[in-house]
């Protein structure tokens, strides 16, 4: 008789957001590489009313290449019920209606493909792995009598912050917004230094979008997979392990999408040839993420340009135009001269390049790149760590201020440009977005010059190299992430019914 434990299946439900989706699929692939008895079905959701061409293109490429990937990985594109989204205008309402409608599709798939598949089915459903934003899908797992594991796409310290403020709200009736006019720093268990109130993420300050409440369901999971590694966030992970209200946490990262390094586009080849001619670690790379929030209006663009020119540093700058179409993805300028200071491109043509979007990992991997001015999205942080490139922090929203705090104050592989810069703040009385103040060219220049200091005493550069080695070692046989993958799979087997 065949051992059922040798033929088990996990159902992944990733969130339809690029940073979440790519790392979740990467985690599924990692598990399959390590566990030959496992198969994974990824149930894919596409958001149609708030289009994001990048993630839709990535999903389409995954499905098209399905025959070339692990045969034990099944990718299922769920149908979308557009009627369920009618009458919803704001983003939070749209996403709630979207997830509610998709939950029914997940249930239907599991009923038709798993429950009614007959006795000939060789694989046994062992549980669901749902994104941190898809906690409502835990209801479907309960209907099938299987456990749920949560995939947390942010870092372990941010997971602790998320759980901490949910607990304050539920157990003590304290809202994070109450701290705004009190002490400037807070003691949050997963950070070993006092955390500045001004860096608190919007989802704990404004609870109307329901993101904070996902933490309540996270506590009910059998385990939490986090895209991090132990040596990077040892204090946070040890803190979480001591809290008996928190499920077992499995840091299995860094999970990265490095496909761009193997197959880059012709436009990237031209930039790479330019980088080949630059001295090692001499180029500062500026990129503020792939979403529309990572773009600046013309006055701020000019300040960045002035800073680069005055610094005298070689640079590679990803510059894109704010979208006016409602898309989550910014557009490109037909001519960069329309937004840059007059004569900037001509004056800097020997030391710099201004480009449209390209595969970030391609450039971070290049030995000429010695610094990264970043919005500090968690995936960008992990990519920078993987390649040992120090960061100048310029966060925009959500978890990014907290990530910047970790990088500068706790890990020590970054310098600060404007850690408290926020694009997602709103006036508490009017709910009108608060436009952040322009960061001056002087502030930016100081940050870039400090970042690119190549002296032997540059602690930030040395630390980046140390953390790079830690990240590589974590995934090697016997490394911390390698071992946590084993521990997670043992948890799955233990919870089989």
Q: What is the domain-level CATH number for residue 360?
A: 3.40.50.2000
User: How far separated are the first and last CA of the chain, in Å rounded?
Assistant: 18
Condensed to tens digits (0 to 9), the pLDDT of residues 246-259 reads 999 999 999 998 76
Total domains in the chain come to: 2
The most confident of 21-25, 71-75, 236-240, by mean pLDDT: 236-240
Condensed to tens digits (0 to 9), the pLDDT of residues 393-438 reads 999 988 999 999 999 999 999 999 999 998 877 776 776 778 889 9
pLDDT at 210 over 80: no
pLDDT at 489 over 70: yes
Separation of alpha carbons 379 and 390, rounded Å: 15
Asked if 432 and 480 sit in the same domain, the reply is: no
User: Within 13 Å, how many C-alpha atoms sit on residue 389's CB side?
Assistant: 33
Asked if 290 and 143 sit in the same domain, the reply is: no
Asked if 241 and 379 sit in the same domain, the reply is: no
Separation of alpha carbons 443 and 446, rounded Å: 5
Report the pLDDT averaged over residues 258-285: 80
Domain with 304 in it:
260-472
pLDDT of residue 135: 87
Strands 195-196 and 223-226: unpaired
pLDDT at 61 over 90: no
Condensed to tens digits (0 to 9), the pLDDT of residues 108-158 reads 888 887 666 554 455 688 999 999 988 889 999 998 899 999 999 999 999
Contact residues for 263 (Cβ-Cβ < 8 A; gap 6+): none
Separation of alpha carbons 70 and 160, rounded Å: 34
pLDDT at 290 over 90: no
Q: What share of the chain is helix, strand, coil (3-state, %, to 5)?
A: 45, 15, 40
Residue predicted with more confidence, 457 or 243: 243
Asked if 198 and 276 sit in the same domain, the reply is: no
Distances (CA, A) of 428 to 180, 184, 435: 11, 19, 14
pLDDT of residue 124: 84
Asked if 367 and 490 sit in the same domain, the reply is: no
Asked if 207 and 354 sit in the same domain, the reply is: no
Tell me the pTM.
Answer: 0.90
**Active-site residue (options: 52, 131, 206, 399):** 131
Helices (H) and strands (E) in the chain, counts: 18, 15
pLDDT of residue 1: 36
Separation of alpha carbons 225 and 159, rounded Å: 11
Report the pLDDT averaged over residues 362-378: 94
Least confident of 51-65, 103-117, 306-320, 406-420: 51-65
Report the pLDDT averaged over residues 446-474: 91
Asked if 237 and 297 sit in the same domain, the reply is: no
The residue among 153, 115, 135 whose CA lies nearest residue 22 is 153
Report the pLDDT averaged over residues 94-110: 81
pLDDT at 462 over 90: yes
In the annotation, is 83 catalytic?
no
Asked if 363 and 422 sit in the same domain, the reply is: yes
Separation of alpha carbons 372 and 451, rounded Å: 8
Separation of alpha carbons 126 and 148, rounded Å: 9
Condensed to tens digits (0 to 9), the pLDDT of residues 181-206 reads 666 888 999 999 999 999 999 888 87
Supply the mean pLDDT for the chain.
85
Asked if 411 and 302 sit in the same domain, the reply is: yes
Q: Are 376 and 393 in contact (CB under 8 A)?
A: yes
Cite the beta strand spans of 3-37 per DSSP E: 8-13
In the annotation, is 131 catalytic?
yes
Asked if 101 and 19 sit in the same domain, the reply is: yes
Asked if 218 and 354 sit in the same domain, the reply is: no
Report the pLDDT averaged over residues 353-361: 84
Asked if 59 and 87 sit in the same domain, the reply is: yes
User: Within 13 Å, how many C-alpha atoms sit on residue 125's CB side?
Assistant: 23
482 CB burial (10 A radius; 0-12, 13-18, 19+): middle
pLDDT at 9 over 80: yes
pLDDT of residue 238: 97
Residue 52: pLDDT band (50, 70, 90) is low
């Amino acid at each position: 008789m065949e051992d059922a434990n040798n033929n088990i299946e996990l159902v992944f439900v990733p969130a339809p957001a690029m940073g979440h989706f790519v790392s979740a699929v990467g985690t599924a692939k990692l598990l399959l590489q390590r566990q030959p008895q496992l198969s994974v079905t990824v149930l894919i959701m596409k958001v149609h009313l708030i289009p994001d061409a990048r993630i839709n293109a990535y999903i389409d490429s995954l499905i098209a290449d399905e025959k070339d990937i692990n045969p034990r990985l099944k990718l299922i594109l769920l149908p979308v019920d557009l009627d369920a989204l009618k009458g919803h205008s704001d983003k939070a309402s749209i996403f709630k209606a979207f997830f509610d409608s998709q939950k029914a599709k997940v249930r239907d798939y599991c009923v038709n493909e798993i429950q009614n598949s007959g006795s000939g089915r060789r694989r046994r459903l062992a549980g669901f792995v749902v994104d941190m934003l898809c906690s409502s899908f835990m209801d479907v797992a309960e209907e099938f009598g299987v456990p749920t594991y949560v995939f947390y796409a942010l870092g372990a310290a941010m997971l602790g912050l998320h759980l901490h403020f949910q607990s304050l709200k539920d157990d003590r009736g304290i809202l994070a917004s109450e701290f705004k006019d009190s002490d400037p720093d807070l003691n949050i268990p997963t950070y070993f230094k006092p955390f500045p109130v001004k860096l608190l993420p919007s989802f704990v300050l404004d609870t109307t979008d329901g993101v904070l409440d996902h933490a309540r369901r996270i506590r009910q999971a059998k385990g939490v997979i986090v895209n991090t590694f132990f040596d990077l966030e040892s204090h946070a992970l040890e803190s979480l392990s001591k809290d008996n209200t928190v499920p077992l946490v499995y840091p299995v990262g860094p999970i990265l999408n490095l496909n761009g390094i193997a197959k880059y586009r012709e436009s990237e080849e031209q930039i790479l040839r330019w980088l080949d001619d630059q001295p090692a670690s001499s180029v500062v790379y500026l990129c503020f993420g792939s979403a529309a929030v990572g773009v600046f209006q013309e006055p701020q663009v000019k300040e960045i340009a002035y800073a680069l020119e005055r610094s005298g540093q070689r640079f590679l700058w990803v510059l894109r135009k704010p979208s006016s179409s409602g898309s989550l993805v910014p557009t490109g300028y037909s001519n960069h001269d329309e937004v840059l200071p007059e004569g900037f491109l001509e004056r800097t043509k020997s030391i710099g390049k201004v480009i449209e979007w390209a595969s970030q990992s391609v450039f971070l991997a290049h030995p000429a790149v010695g610094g990264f001015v970043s919005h500090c999205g968690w995936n960008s942080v992990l990519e920078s760590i993987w390649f040992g490139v120090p960061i100048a922090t310029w966060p925009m929203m959500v978890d990014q201020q907290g990530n910047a705090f970790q990088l500068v104050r706790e890990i020590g592989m970054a310098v600060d440009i404007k850690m408290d810069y926020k694009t997602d703040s709103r006036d508490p009385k009017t709910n009108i977005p608060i436009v952040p103040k322009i960061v001056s060219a002087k502030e930016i220049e100081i940050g870039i010059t400090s970042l690119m200091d190549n002296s032997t005493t540059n602690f930030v550069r040395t630390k980046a190299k140390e953390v790079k080695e830690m990240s590589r070692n974590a995934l090697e046989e016997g490394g911390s992430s390698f071992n946590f993958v084993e521990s997670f799979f043992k948890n799955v087997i233990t919870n089989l019914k």
